[in-house]
Structure 1
């Protein structure tokens, strides 16, 4: 039975967000040299297929056994690429159409899961290919290569209805009536072939979604953070699923609930001292676990100064924690005390929306995958940086190539419909 963590109250005193050092600065090369386009509406597009549009989520990156990098991503046509037939509640549909959402876009199976590969540490990428295409819109948000060599891809599957308190009768047979459900696919040959989906029992009675990266513990257990709700307008809570057999079977380990705020899009990481840290949308709340994710307590906050979305956590070799997230655009934060306190944000790419994935490389640099925009037309970018030795700066590293798409000028203005699914 899962542990239910009802996190009451807020941290006080020493756990309040503070500046732990001078504000971070960004150094290194210009954005045009630090960033490459992996795929996009106008670059390295997948081969045509029914329902292909000009948008995809950036997913995540992992190192394969032969040294190549693999990036999994979604490709569809909009912020959510509903399959056909689709039923959207009329008032919701009207609002979305006003934001130019193409609700009549011909897409028999909606968005699909794709993969692309790099043999030069992310500078160039193969043409994306499909690794999963269900009857419904599916998006990969996590990729993990277990120590035994098994590759796990974590997939968000969206039903073709929205805006109702329960599934319309015509579509109630899909996902058992859930609005969104999670599944895992496994590969034992570094992504060449994949298993059939392994479906997780939903932590929420209305939907369960994911954005965070899974982690593998020293004992071989795999933890996957998700978020869920029991009703359409209910409070969102975090959930931790655990597998002890490299993704074959799963159990719900814990839920994390706050009485007065959502736990949305949680991200987790294992710290240098063996504890786990979690942060979540919308306010950067920070939680710690001393027992491998079974129980959690609220310990602090990342003071984002805005709507904090889609965090991704990286732990460097000296224990420094890097958080990359969207706060209007792509930003970063640092913690030098295992996630108790954090710096203020520093902008990584002011021209892009973000919703990052990524990984720490062997030299302690960080690769970040992210999207240009929250709707079509868009591109999937990859950025590489390293934190300075004194932890005072983010140093953008070169990833030059002759066919890179030039970096757009100016600051990203958040698309009006990017929170339409909330």
Structure 2
């Protein structure tokens, strides 16, 4: 497995910005202040936020709220923010289906000003007579994120399934031996020319009884829509590469409609391992083909990629130590479209009992950007503003 090159703060590269070549030899980041609360609770769990700048430049953040990290009461909440990212409304319910856990909502500003919303439904099973079922969904907000309409399931398969059975190979089946396939999403759909691209992970048959050779490992797919989410077609990404590693939580950044970057979380064993390094793949043909996976030298979950106006690319993520006991938030940056990366800059200290991160980014005015993330062991959605200088 190849390694991604991590280099120090002084970097030299040519990057593209507004169709012009701009020389960026160095970038420095300065936190504008300490972190601030967008939402805080005493009981329950907040997590998995996604931040979006609307067509009027105001901000919204959506996130899950439930009793625990996983439970059937999970619902998607929303807060509305000012243009400068410093003032936020009280929370309210964005959408909720009673008895089903809605998770990992993400937002995409569409060309007509509407907002695409993707997330997944999660129905937890017991592994014995009831499997866990996961399917991604897509909907649209036509009123600046006041409501969501036209919600449709992206993948095939029932969500509430009865009469599950086990086939001869140990897989879950239903309805005359249809295989149960689970799939999740954790990042927003991107616009690529005239199409929507929705990254997903999973897409393999669910195992009921483990047998030698029957385990299938989570793969990465891109669901492609040329009609703004009415229908979707699956495109697998390197399905035969890293075939014994669970590939999860992909984020795709469209640099210029030709060059794309993907970062993913990995799981190399059934339990967490020091080898679960974040990985990268690059596409030079608009996502038709992808390079082999290359590995970073740190454990990163739920990466979020963002291109600043100057052309510098940021990747933010949950960062963990090798024992999976210290958890925080960090970002890295690239001056050469993902060919090389800085070392991680930690902005939410790694510590014990800190279920946290799933960062999301948007650029503000005056060379500033806002990162939103969850922290304090699932009790807070917080933001932090950074200023950057380039030369």
TM-score under structure 2 normalisation? 0.75
Provide the rounded CA distance (Å) in 2 between the counterparts of 1:234 and 1:314. 32
Provide the rounded CA distance (Å) in 2 between the counterparts of 1:273 and 1:152. 19
Name the structure 1 match of 2:224.
242
- The 3 A distance-change label for structure 1 pair 255 and 332 is same
Contact kept in structure 2, 1:302 and 1:342, CA below 8 Å: no
- The 3 A distance-change label for structure 1 pair 120 and 319 is closer
Residue of structure 1 aligned with 2:262, choices 275, 278, 282: 278
Contact kept in structure 2, 1:236 and 1:264, CA below 8 Å: yes
Provide the rounded CA distance (Å) in 2 between the counterparts of 1:249 and 1:79. 31
The unaligned stretches of length 5 or more in structure 2 are: 12-25, 158-178, 208-214, 267-276, 321-327
Shift of 1:238: 0.9
Residue 78 of structure 1 aligns to a residue whose secondary structure is coil
The unaligned stretches of length 5 or more in structure 1 are: 1-9, 43-52, 84-109, 169-176, 391-422
Name the structure 1 match of 2:19.
none
Residue of structure 2 aligned with 1:73, choices 63, 82, 86: 63
Provide the rounded CA distance (Å) in 2 between the counterparts of 1:41 and 1:315. 32
Of Structure 1 and Structure 2, which has the larger fraction of its residues in strand?
Answer: 2
Name the structure 2 match of 1:116.
79
Name the structure 2 match of 1:301.
295
Shift of 1:290: 2.4
Provide the rounded CA distance (Å) in 2 between the counterparts of 1:210 and 1:374. 22
Name the structure 1 match of 2:360.
357
Question: RCO higher in 1 or 2 (8 Å CA, sep ≥ 6)?
Answer: 1
Q: Summarize the alignment of residues 15-414 of structure 1 with structure 2, pairs less than 5 Å apart.
A: 16-19=4-7, 21-22=9-10, 28-29=30-31, 33-42=33-42, 53-81=43-71, 83=72, 110-135=73-98, 136-162=100-126, 164=127, 168=130, 179-201=133-155, 205-217=180-192, 219-228=193-202, 229-232=204-207, 234-257=216-239, 258-272=242-256, 274-282=258-266, 283-298=277-292, 300-304=294-298, 307-328=299-320, 329-350=328-349, 353-361=356-364, 363-375=366-378, 378-390=379-391
- The 3 A distance-change label for structure 1 pair 317 and 25 is closer
- CA distances 1:263-303 after superposition (whole Å, capped 9, x unpaired): 21111101248311101113222111223223212263333
Contact kept in structure 1, 2:77 and 2:91, CA below 8 Å: yes
TM-score under structure 1 normalisation? 0.70
Provide the rounded CA distance (Å) in 1 between the counterparts of 2:340 and 2:180. 35
Shift of 1:17: 2.2
Provide the rounded CA distance (Å) in 1 between the counterparts of 2:57 and 2:88. 14
Contact kept in structure 2, 1:40 and 1:380, CA below 8 Å: yes
Provide the rounded CA distance (Å) in 1 between the counterparts of 2:113 and 2:94. 18
Contact kept in structure 1, 2:258 and 2:287, CA below 8 Å: no
Contact kept in structure 2, 1:300 and 1:340, CA below 8 Å: no
Of Structure 1 and Structure 2, which has the larger fraction of its residues in helix?
Answer: 1
Provide the rounded CA distance (Å) in 2 between the counterparts of 1:79 and 1:230. 24
Shift of 1:54: 2.0
Provide the rounded CA distance (Å) in 2 between the counterparts of 1:374 and 1:206. 31
